[in-house]
Structure 1
Amino acid sequence: MISLHFLITAFVVVLAPGTGVIYTLALGLGQGPRAAVWAAFGCTIGILPHLAAAILGLAAVLHASALLFQAVKIAGVLYLLYLAWQMVRADGALSVSAASPTQQSGLRIAQRGALINILNPKLSVFFLALLPPFLSGDATSATLEMVVLGTIFMAMTFSVFVLYGLFAAQARTLILGSNTVVKWLNRSFAALFAALAARLAMERA
C-alpha cells in the first residue's frame, strides 16, 4: 500500500507549484514565517473535503454532474480573482510591502488557504484517480487504506508548503529593499492568481 512509487508520486505532485504554493510564498514573503506556516496549514486542511469526497464516492458524483462542477469551479475562479485583487491593492490583505508587516490572524490566513483548495473541484477527481491504483485490492480495507494514503499526502503537503513559505520569509529582507521590486512582486503574484483562475475556468468535469 505505502510503496516507494506512491511516495515519489505524491512528493512530485506536492512539489509542483500550484495555487497553494503561490499563496504560501506570498504570505511568507509579505508577512514572515508565522504567516507562512498558517498558510500551509490552511491549504492542507482544504484538502480534507476532497479526500473525504474521494473516499465516500462523492467525487464521482461531482465529476458526473456538470452543473455542480461548474458551480464550484465558478466560485473558485472568482475567489482566485479576489486574491489577485488583494495582491495589487496597496492595503490588500495579501499585498507585499517593505514595511513591517501587519500581523493578521492565523485563523484568517488559514481560512483563505483552505478556501483555495476547497473551491477547486478538480482536487476531488484528482484523489479519485490518484489513490485507487495504490490500494492493495482488498475491498474490506480499501477505505482505511485511502485514509492512510490521504493522510500521508496531506503531511507531505504541509511539510513542503512550510519549507516553501519559510524560504520566502528568509528571502524577505533580501528582496524587499526596493519599492520597484515590491510593486512588481505584487503585480507578478496577482498575475499568477489571475492565470490560475483562467486555467481553472477552462477545466471540464
Structure 2
Amino acid sequence: MARRTVGFYGPRRLNLGSRMPIDFVPSAATLLAFTGASFLLAITPGPDMGLMLARTLAGGRRAGFATVAGCSVGVVIHALLAGLGLSALLAASTTAFTAAKIVGAIYLLWLAWQSLRHGSSFHVTPDDGKSKNAFAVFLTGLGINLTNPKVVLFFVTFLPQFVEPTDPHAAGKMVFLGVWFLLVGVPVASVIVLTAERFTASMRRSKRMMRAFDLGFAGVMGGFALRLLLTQGR
C-alpha cells in the first residue's frame, strides 16, 4: 500500500507496508541538495576548523580528533534543539514560523556580506603548548560549539529550508538532517586533522584559495537566503 505525499521538491510515494518508519527521511532530491550544501560548508574555513587545527598542531592527532568529537556532540545537540524547537513554533503558529524564516534569510544575507567584506574567518590561534588530557580537549570543543550563538542561528536558519512548513514530520526530518550534516562533516574534519600541517600551510600561503572560499561561502549563504524568501507562503 502506498500513498502520495508532497515534499519540497514535489510529490513522492511512501510505502506504508514497510516496517521501517521512513516518514522522517527527506526525499532523495532534498537529501542530495542538503548533502552538497553541507559539504561546501564543511570545507569552508571557520572558527571550528581553526580550533581543530590549533589543537592538532599543539597536541597531535589525538587532540585533533578529541576536538572533532566534542564539536560533533555539540552539533547533535543543536540539531535536536533546532528540530524540536522549530517544530513547536510551527505547531503554535505558521505565521511565527514564517517570521522566523524571514529573520533567518536576513541573517544568512548578513553572513554572505560579512564574508565578502571582511574575508574568511580562518584563524589558527597558537596553543600554549601544554599537554592536555584528551577528555579536557573534548570538553573544550563541546563547550565552544554549544556556547557559540552563530552555531545556534545557523541551525535555526539552515535546516528549515529543507523541510516543508506543512509537513507533519518536520521535527523528525530536521533532526535527521542535523545528524546527516554531522555524517558529512566528520569525514571532512578527519581529513583536515590528518593533514593539519600541510593544510594550514597551504591555506596561509594561498590568498586566492582563501578568497575562493569566501566567494563560495557568500554564494551558498546568499542562495539559501533567497530560497527562504522565495518559499514564503507556500
- Residue 106 of structure 1: how far off its partner (Å): 1.4
Pairing of 1:163-178 with structure 2 (within 5 A): 163-168=191-196, 171=198
Do 1:27 and 1:165's aligned partners in 2 also have CA atoms closer than 8 Å?
no
User: Residue 134 of structure 1 aligns to which amino acid in structure 2?
Assistant: F
Q: Say whether residues 1:154 and 2:182 are aligned partners.
A: yes
Q: Which runs of 5+ in 1 are unaligned?
A: 65-82, 88-93, 176-184, 186-205
User: Residue 126 of structure 1 aligns to which amino acid in structure 2?
Assistant: F
User: Residue 116 of structure 1 aligns to which amino acid in structure 2?
Assistant: I
Deviation track 1:24-79 (CA, whole Å, cap 9, x = no partner) reads: 11111111111111111111112233222311227989xx9xxxxxxxxxxxxxxx
Aligned to 2:128: 95
Aligned to 1:70: none
Q: Does 50-59 or 143-152 show the bigger shift?
A: 50-59
3-state SS in 2 of match to 1:140 = coil
Q: Say whether residues 1:133 and 2:166 are aligned partners.
A: no
- Distance in 2 (CA, whole Å) between partners of 1:39 and 1:16 is 17
Using the aligned pairs only, state the percent identity.
29
Aligned to 1:44: 72
- Distance in 2 (CA, whole Å) between partners of 1:32 and 1:9 is 30
Higher strand share: 2
- Distance in 2 (CA, whole Å) between partners of 1:36 and 1:123 is 20
- Distance in 1 (CA, whole Å) between partners of 2:75 and 2:168 is 24
- Distance in 1 (CA, whole Å) between partners of 2:193 and 2:128 is 15
Q: Which runs of 5+ in 2 are unaligned?
A: 1-25, 90-95, 101-123, 205-234
Aligned to 2:138: 110
Q: Comparing both chains, which one has the higher relative contact order based on Cα–Cα distances under 8 Å and sequence gaps of 6 or more?
A: 1
Higher helix share: 1
Change (3 A) 1:171 1:122: closer
Do 1:51 and 1:124's aligned partners in 2 also have CA atoms closer than 8 Å?
no
Deviation track 1:126-160 (CA, whole Å, cap 9, x = no partner) reads: 11211122125663211111111100111222222
Q: Given the two structures, how large is their TM-score scaled by the length of structure 2?
A: 0.52
User: Residue 56 of structure 1 aligns to which amino acid in structure 2?
Assistant: L
3-state SS in 2 of match to 1:22 = helix
Change (3 A) 1:58 1:121: farther
RMSD: 3.2
3-state SS in 1 of match to 2:148 = coil
Aligned to 1:20: 48
Q: Given the two structures, how large is their TM-score scaled by the length of structure 1?
A: 0.59
Aligned to 1:178: none
Pairing of 1:186-201 with structure 2 (within 5 A): none
User: Residue 159 of structure 1 aligns to which amino acid in structure 2?
Assistant: P
Do 2:80 and 2:178's aligned partners in 1 also have CA atoms closer than 8 Å?
no
User: Residue 163 of structure 2 aligns to which amino acid in structure 1?
Assistant: L
Q: Between Structure 1 and Structure 2, whose CA radius of gyration is higher?
A: 2
Aligned residues: 141
Do 1:54 and 1:125's aligned partners in 2 also have CA atoms closer than 8 Å?
no
Do 2:83 and 2:172's aligned partners in 1 also have CA atoms closer than 8 Å?
no
Do 2:79 and 2:155's aligned partners in 1 also have CA atoms closer than 8 Å?
yes
- Distance in 2 (CA, whole Å) between partners of 1:166 and 1:33 is 7
